[in-house]
Amino acid sequence: MGTALVLLVFGYALPAAAFAGEVPPGTTAGGVDSGGLSPRSAEERLRRELAAQTARSLTVESADTSVAVQFWSTKRFDIRSKSSARHDVRGFATRSGSGPDCIPMPGAEGLSIDAWRIFVKDGEVVRNQKFHTVYALEPRLTCS
């Protein structure tokens, strides 16, 4: 019996109108880019490209604002993970605003972090997959 290895669900917190019914840019699943596509087109691309990567069971479903992917397979690897310390930390500026629409914001540092997914088979590392994430800084906003 296969084991459910991965369940990726893309539920978007932003209203669908924010992306005009498209999957947000930069969205990937299993290394397949689906950003900028409609959920239906993303489903078709994921179904086509991921099916080529696996001989196991695969389901892809889409709705107006989401795409869900499920894989079933036989376990081939033990997966470990590690992450770096925060790096490239960038401070934020303070800006001032005024008026009834001004909303004070605390600000946030920008930073980068790396994470690795480590594939182990029979006690040996066979693959490292690196993910680099950059968090944008947000200025502090004071209101008068």
C-alpha span between 72 and 80 (Å, rounded):
19
- pLDDT value for 36: 86
- Of residues 9 and 133, the one with the higher pLDDT is 133
Residue with token string 């906003």: 141
Provide the pLDDT for residue 99. 93
What is the per-residue pLDDT across 56-96, written as a single tens digit (0 to 9) for each?
Answer: 666 777 777 777 777 666 778 899 999 999 999 999 999 99
DSSP 27: -
For residue 100, with 0-12 CB atoms within 10 Å meaning exposed, 13-18 middle and 19 or more buried, which class applies?
Answer: exposed
Residue 140: per-residue pLDDT: 95
What confidence category does residue 2 fall into, taking pLDDT thresholds of 50, 70 and 90?
A: very low
Greater pLDDT, 29 or 2: 29
